[in-house]
Amino acid sequence: MKKKISAFIKKNSKRVVSYLVTNRLFIIFALFALIETILIRVNTVKSPFDYKPFICDLALIVIIGSFAYLIKADKRYKYYRNWLFIITLACIVNSIYYIFYTSFVSFSLLATITQIETVGDSLIEKLRFVDFIYIIFPIIFHFIHKSFKNDNYYFYISKAEKGKKSFASTILAGIILLSFTIVGITSADASRLVKQWNRELIVQRFGIILYQGNDLVQSLTPKISSLFGYEEAANYFKEYYSNRFKEVEEKNDNKYTNVFEGMNVIFIHMESIQNYLVDMKINGVEITPTLNKLVKEGMYFNNFYPQISVGTSSDTEFTWATSLMPASSGTVFVSYYDRDYVTIQKLLKDKGYYTFSAHANSATMWNRNNMHPSLGYDEMIFKDKFDIGDKNDPRWLGLGLNDVDFFAQMQPKLEEIETNNEHYMGTLIQLSNHSPFAATDYNPELYNYFGELDLTNTYTVVDENTGEKITKTDDYLKGTKLGNYLISAHYADMALGTFMDYVKDSDYYNNTVFVLYGDHDARLNKNEYAYYYNYNVETGEVYSEGDENYYDYNNFRHEINRRTPLVFWTKNKNVARKIKKVNSNTMGMYDILPTLGNMMGFSNKYALGHDIYDIKDDNFVVFPSGNFVTNSVYYSSTANNYLILKENVIIEEDYIENIKKQAEDILSVSNDIIVHNLIKREGDNIVVSQEE
């Protein structure tokens, strides 16, 4: 028996050694590629030891590598090198992109590559050494190849190995590995893959290689959508809205119905302004004194969430205008701008309104030069219409003309619009508070003109030896992204204040309502906030995990912290008295159209949001990731878990499952409307389009 075991070990040992010797290049390629896929998860979703993406990545690497055996031995290096370069590039790009957008890059966003110059400062500011660590592996692989070549390795294996047989056995091994991934796929996993809702979750579950390959397929959808899937999408659309229309028919007027009817409306797009800034003070100084006044004077929605995907600001512009969700792949502004959307702009134009948009940046940013006319704007007042100078001009702040000058130069333009039009609707897009939030780095003189914001902390300690009290000053926020953001937001609020002071003193705007909204959060990571919330102002120390005073700033709290302010404000005293209110019901960007529509006398029966004064406590906000939030709970599709937001509330499992189903329906039907261009206008009627 011992002899048989010994013979078996000896025989198979020779096979293992022979395999290792004749397949060294493949093994090294597979090892390097696998390490890179682990590192990208370390640098992004923080799940390096999860076996599911590990197996999926390994299986795909083995399958990819197997095809090299169909190539001559001395040509295989180039094949492996090219694939390793592709994987390396994907890891580098996604590592950088994740820091910037907390998501993974899509092929459909390659059309926005020209925007890199515009946001270059922000991009460079966030780069890290670890984002480029992947490049080490192709370099090492090259030198290994050189060593093999000098040792006549390729000549040896061309004699010793049978290519087709090696291909068959290797690809079979890869397929067996992949089967473990396929067997474990749930219906929810399959749905996320097909609809590309939650990029983080796809990478966590299937790894970076399958994600990027799947994204390539999904990104081709805009080019072939007219050929496939229309009938299924149209049927699903009709079924969904047959139930939705019953809700609309049952809707009754409320106390705010037509309260703004006949008034002009100006939207103010407050770049990256988050809700926690409201009433926030540091050293007794308000961060957003202008916003603080407006929320007290107007109708303030303090539980309001943007619903953005990779399109950030452009997603927000699209969602509030249409009450649809962002596209599941790419961005509407870039990939689906040539659609006949039902928008606030067009609904007001039907009522005789003149419409315009204004932004002190290039019209090509986010393809606004094409998308804004598609939304229904009559006029675009962009960078070329302003006296802006260049980056050396003192008026330049961040990405372009500073907000103070932007608002100042808009004043005569607005007065001309009001003089020439009985009714108008416009959007003013702020710019200075765009990432990387370092206004003082761009133009200290301009910032100091409006007053310095002191972010230091002063505290007293007692000398252990002398008992003497010592006063210390700690510049604990200096150089942090959060500190720069607070400075930048403070400046943007002051700029807004100069405009609102003008509005209040002007003879114009007595019949105008202002809708101010934060377009999205500042995209800061959890560590920035965890440091701030755990900083002890009395001692200058930072609470560590395990301390009784430690604040666990977890994923749920980070998501909830993404809320932004929404304010309806007017200087018309009669109307102001009627609307002065704080509304704390959960509300999303897609609820603006139906809510404002009820107040102004227009409606869109295909809106996916609700009039918040009609639905009230029953509202929920769905995010492109599949997460959702209600007054009672925040659900994370990534963790498949939820956080209860109200004390003494019991959440039944069917409550979560019911809203999950509704959220999936909203995401699906919205994407079908966008991709298949399902809605068109015929005169004053909105109809379902026919397949072309």
- More confident call, 329 vs 29: 29
* CATH class of the domain defined by 230-688: alpha beta
Task: Specify the residue for token string 């404002």.
Answer: 596
Q: In the predicted model, is pLDDT for residue 396 greater than 80?
A: no
**Mean per-residue pLDDT for 103-110?**
73
The whole-number pLDDT of residue 632 equals 96
- More confident call, 613 vs 131: 613
| Distances, alpha carbon 650 to alpha carbons 349, 384, 410, 559, 667, in Å | 46, 56, 51, 21, 27
Give the N- to C-terminal CA distance of the chain in Å, as an integer. Answer: 75
**Mean per-residue pLDDT for 179-195?**
78
Q: Within 10 Å of residue 55's Cβ, how many Cβ atoms?
A: 18
Q: In the predicted model, is pLDDT for residue 8 greater than 90?
A: no
CA distance 619 to 603: 18
Beta bridge partners of 460: 471
- More confident call, 557 vs 525: 557
Task: Specify the residue for token string 């007290």.
Answer: 296
Q: In the predicted model, is pLDDT for residue 647 greater than 90?
A: no
Pick from 349, 335, 343: nearest CA to 319 = 343
pLDDT tens digits, one per residue of 204-254: 889 999 999 988 877 776 556 555 678 888 899 999 998 887 666 667 789
| Distances, alpha carbon 292 to alpha carbons 15, 278, 569, in Å | 75, 6, 12
Task: Specify the residue for token string 């005073």.
Answer: 549
The whole-number pLDDT of residue 108 equals 67
**Mean per-residue pLDDT for 336-353?**
95
Instruction: Kindly report which listed range (13-17, 149-153, 201-205, 354-358) carries the lowest average pLDDT score.
Output: 13-17
pLDDT tens digits, one per residue of 417-431: 999 999 999 999 999
CA distance 372 to 362: 13
Q: In the predicted model, is pLDDT for residue 582 greater than 50?
A: yes
CB 307 within 8 A of CB 324: no
**Mean per-residue pLDDT for 292-313?**
95
Q: Within 10 Å of residue 111's Cβ, how many Cβ atoms?
A: 15
Residue 672, CB-side half-sphere exposure with 13 Å CA sphere: 26
pLDDT tens digits, one per residue of 60-81: 999 999 999 999 888 899 999 9
Kindly report the average pLDDT of the chain as a whole number.
Answer: 87
Q: Within 10 Å of residue 520's Cβ, how many Cβ atoms?
A: 22
The whole-number pLDDT of residue 126 equals 58
Q: In the predicted model, is pLDDT for residue 500 greater than 90?
A: yes
At 683, give phi and psi (nearest 5°).
Answer: 65, -125
CB 207 within 8 A of CB 91: no
**What does the block give as tokens for 517?**
């909204």
The residue extents of the domains of the chain are 15-219, 230-688
Instruction: Kindly report which listed range (174-183, 211-220, 333-342, 386-395) carries the lowest average pLDDT score.
Output: 386-395
Question: Is residue 258 left, alpha or beta, with left meaning phi > 0 and alpha meaning psi from -120 to 50?
Answer: left
Instruction: Kindly report which listed range (109-113, 567-571, 576-580) carries the lowest average pLDDT score.
Output: 109-113
In this structure, the strands spanning 424-429 and 354-359 are parallel
Q: Could you tell me what percent of the chain has a pLDDT over 70?
A: 85
The whole-number pLDDT of residue 399 equals 74
The whole-number pLDDT of residue 3 equals 56
- More confident call, 4 vs 202: 202
Pick from 343, 370, 421, 400: nearest CA to 673 = 343
pLDDT tens digits, one per residue of 379-393: 999 999 999 877 677
**Mean per-residue pLDDT for 189-217?**
81
Peptide linkage before 53 cis (omega within 30 of 0): no
CA distance 200 to 205: 9
Question: Coil, strand or helix: which one is 562?
Answer: coil
Q: Which residues contact 197 (CB under 8 A, 6 or more apart)?
A: 191, 328, 624, 625, 626, 637, 667
Q: Which residues contact 107 (CB under 8 A, 6 or more apart)?
A: 215, 216, 219
pLDDT tens digits, one per residue of 600-609: 999 999 999 9
CA distance 29 to 81: 8
The whole-number pLDDT of residue 442 equals 47
Q: What is the CA radius of gyration of the chain?
A: 29
The whole-number pLDDT of residue 73 equals 84
pLDDT tens digits, one per residue of 550-572: 999 999 999 999 999 999 999 99
CB 542 within 8 A of CB 293: no
- More confident call, 218 vs 38: 38
Q: In the predicted model, is pLDDT for residue 102 greater than 60?
A: yes
Q: In the predicted model, is pLDDT for residue 494 greater than 50?
A: yes
